[in-house]
Chain A
């Protein structure tokens, strides 16, 4: 209950801000020196929340299924892609981090490219990867590749930092136990890296969602929430609330992924919750 309250309060605040701006803001938007600094507040740009909720309940097309069902289905489709991309990205990131920790020369040689990889515009990369669809892998998997491409980066960088975090004394201690590289990795470096890994995984989760949504759009994959956003935004002039239903779906997806990562963290970070100090 105590954890649900702040979440509910946050949602309420967001709703109040939205409706408050709609009530107070200029319907044509605020323009300063020819630059629009505040968005339009009219019904076309910012539909009432009630309208969006209402739109969720009504049929997608005349006589079709209700929008919430379509959005939810798209969410499930994209969630599958996101999860696949996230897992693949996390594994690749972990392996890269371990290799970079193990071999100094790999770190020196590879790290610049790891960073460079994230500066390549996704739009340029997506058509290339989309080309693999149907030949090397099913089309949905190409989207997962794009998601993984974005997700591996924070894991590789964060995990490398974590693997390098143990003190010299800790490493010497393992050496005094005659523990080799592998056992030092398992008993010392991995556990020590966990506080670095989890924030990295959260970033990777968010990146995987973005990758999946953008990947669907730029590869033209059907069935997911990214595609839905594009389809619905074409109807934005006649049915402005509809595109917001798809965006809500994308937000829900992000929350789901973030929640899943947090759940992973709970059993592994038990020691962090014992804070009170005993003195003898």
Chain B
């Protein structure tokens, strides 16, 4: 199996050499296999979002290397090897839903007909085909988030990076979107790195849950999850609850060193 993402010996220090220097990540190693769904979970400030941004080459690592699709992260970003979605949908309010989804294709220089066809296909995938002509301001939070996912998928990237994409949504919408995301993944086979602070969300979605701890941010455990099925029955299965307990214990089992608190 080839690797979609390889993070090797990465350390990230913000504001280096200044009084407000922060050691955000220390010696992080992570490999995401092709087609694998990996969740990053941990308390606030554990550097999970930072790790995602490093993979996306939105920020450079202080030391270590990040490889995406066999290339350095910077090259992969320029080749648009990944799609990204944030907690805030971050749609451009002056563009219609369709034109929002078309944006990454536009920047890639895709022709009008191709853009249109692809946008329609992606909106279909997230169940918003009827809203292509609407403006983001007219949509609910859950719908906006689905548009953001459609936008992230528009260039058919082999890798999807998601930073708490359902964090701002209510529980019902959240569960529905989780199922939709799994459905999309089943059709596209996209590898996914998914940042969350919901244990049940991480367990339900992932092949592997990577547990992180804070101060300094590091990976403390990786838990493989093999649910019998990823649907309502899967949510009720004993394995689901076992894994939730396991992740919870992993989160608790590594208290931050007291010396680092000061």
Contact = CB atoms under 8 A, between A and B. Distances in A.
Interface in A145-192: 167, 169-170, 172-173, 175-179, 183, 187-188, 191-192
A169 B82 CA distance: 16
Interface of B: 53, 56, 58, 77-80, 82, 84, 86, 88, 90, 92-96, 103-104, 106-108, 128, 131, 134-135, 137-140, 142-143
Interface string A38-66: 00000000000000000000000000000
A270 B96 CA distance: 10
Contacts of A167: 88, 90
Contacts of A187: 92, 103, 106-107
A140 B84 CA distance: 55
B140 A280 contact: yes
A271 B86 contact: no
Nearest to B161: A176
Interface string A71-108: 00000000000000000000000000000000000000
Interface of A: 167, 169-170, 172-173, 175-179, 183, 187-188, 191-192, 194, 271, 274-280
A271 B131 contact: no
Contact of B58 (A175, A191, A271, A277): A175
Contact of A169 (B90, B137, B143): B90
Nearest to A175: B58
Contacts of A275: 137-138
Contacts of B58: 172, 175-176
A126 to B, nearest CB: 40
Contacts of B143: 278-280
Given A167-B88, A271-B137, A278-B143, 8 more contacts: A177-B104, A183-B107, A188-B92, A191-B94, A191-B95, A271-B93, A278-B134, A278-B138
26 contacts: A167-B90, A170-B90, A172-B53, A172-B86, A175-B58, A176-B77, A177-B80, A177-B104, A178-B107, A183-B107, A187-B107, A191-B92, A271-B94, A271-B135, A271-B137, A274-B135, A274-B138, A275-B137, A275-B138, A277-B137, A277-B138, A277-B139, A277-B140, A278-B134, A278-B143, A280-B128
